[in-house]
């Protein structure tokens, strides 16, 4: 008799999981979830974010275990089919192999690729800035997304 109830309990548990789990993972993340939207600016973008279906960027830095990025994109401009900008190291330490990440967009603004470029110079002491520049092949629009760097020099 005990085995009968155990089997029934197991069957009910499995059935409820099949009904509940897909619903939980299908719900869209809304701004009511407590995470702040990111202002639509190219300056000081968060290192850890997600883009919702409607295109809003949501700052997830607190979930990624990363303190606010202190190596920031301070300027971005487009000149003669080139993306040009500046990165500033606002930390109190030297950062190495500094890279600017960007998205390549199609004519509709949809992301069709991603890439990155090193700054010049790639290593920045505290307070220093560096430039970055890349060609926009085929007139494609580029959008900077984040800055990555290493805490130690690459051997």
How does residue 60 score in pLDDT terms, banded at 50, 70 and 90? low
What is the share, in percent, of the chain residues with pLDDT greater than 90?
22
Measured CA to CA, the distance from residue 84 to residue 81 in angstroms comes to: 10
How many Å is the Cα radius of gyration of the chain? Answer: 22
What integer pLDDT is reported at residue 122 of this predicted model?
95
> What domains can you pick out in the chain, each with its CATH number?
33-150 (2.60.40)
CA distances, 40 to each of 63, 141, 144 (Å): 21, 16, 12
The mean of the pLDDT values for the chain is 74
CA 147 to chain centre: 9
Confidence at 89, pLDDT banded by 50, 70, 90: very high
Verify cis geometry, omega within 30 degrees of 0, for the bond prior to 129: no
Contact 129, 74 (CB under 8 A): yes
- Residue at token pair 């085995």: 3
Greater confidence (94 vs 155) lies with 94
- pLDDT tens digit sequence for 90-125: 988 999 999 999 988 888 888 888 899 999 999 999
């Amino acid at each position: 008799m005990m085995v009968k109830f155990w089997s029934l309990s197991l069957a009910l548990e499995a059935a409820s999981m099949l009904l509940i789990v897909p619903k939980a993972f299908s719900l869209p993340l809304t701004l009511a979830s407590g995470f702040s939207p990111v202002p639509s600016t190219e300056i000081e973008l968060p290192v850890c974010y997600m883009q919702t279906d409607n295109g809003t960027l949501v700052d997830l830095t607190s979930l990624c275990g990363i303190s606010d990025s202190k190596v920031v994109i301070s300027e971005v401009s487009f000149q003669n089919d080139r993306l040009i900008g500046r990165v500033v190291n606002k930390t109190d330490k030297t950062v190495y192999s500094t890279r600017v990440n960007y998205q390549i967009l199609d004519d509709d603004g949809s992301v069709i690729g991603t890439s990155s470029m090193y700054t010049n110079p790639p290593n920045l002491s505290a307070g220093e800035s560096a430039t970055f520049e890349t060609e926009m092949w085929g007139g494609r629009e580029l959008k900077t997304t984040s800055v990555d760097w290493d805490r130690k020099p690459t051997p």
